[in-house]
Amino acid sequence: MFHVVPVIDLREGGVVHARRGDRGRYPPLRSSLCAGNDPVAVVGGLLRLHPFPVVYAADLDAIQGTGDNRPTLARLKATFPDVGFWVDAGFRTADAVRGFVASGLGDAVLGSESLHDLAPLAALKGDPAWERLILSLDFRDRFVGPPDLPDRPNLWPRRIIAMTLARVGSGEGPDWNRLAEIGRTKPQASLFAAGGVRNGDDLHDLAARGSAGALVATALHDGRIGGAELAALSR
């Protein structure tokens, strides 16, 4: 089954609208699915559109080292206990991942842009937290992270996100070449596309080319991807 994973970007307790990875300039989210940008209202609006089993949350304050949105994440988990959350909170160490997994708030997304070296992945491999880990391979013009990580698929967990930050919110379409390259490097991985998804046609193309799913935000909030398309993909 192909999984569409809606994305919320959290800053100072609210949801902002991500565009091209320029985090300092993200405006408050304006959505056709809800009033305002309170995270509970936003996730509630997404769930009225479709019963998404998983929501991806980027804690921008934690990623940028200016604070965190842990209370907001706890409020979301308490309000939506049946939803699984994938959370990127700028984890830099194996202990940070273990601590987050132990909190019960969700699965940990380890973004390559937050890593200084491969030590956290090496330490987590074989650890109970390994199965709760998702690796985001982050790209701007080129790969952002430890330079040898793209060539070490033995240190990649089962779930991989191909994150093209320059395409986030751009409506330019998925980064097909990069997805194909990562898919060839670890064919057995569950690969999720992130950045540039425009519409239902992109989702169908991703599914046809073997992606496990896609992270989507803008096209859900502006109505380009609707409930009927999501239901059809889930069947």
Domains and CATH numbers, the chain: 3-234 (3.20.20.70)
- Within the chain, which residues score under 50 in pLDDT? none
Count CB-CB contacts under 10 A for residue 131: 11
Question: What is the structure's pLDDT at 196?
Answer: 86
Question: What is the structure's pLDDT at 172?
Answer: 80
% helix / strand / coil in the chain, to the nearest 5? 40, 25, 40
Question: What is the structure's pLDDT at 171?
Answer: 67
Q: What is the full DSSP assignment across 106-151?
A: -EEEEEGGG-SSSHHHHHHTTSGGGGGEEEEEEESSSEES-TTGGG
Count CB-CB contacts under 10 A for residue 1: 8
Question: What is the structure's pLDDT at 141?
Answer: 83
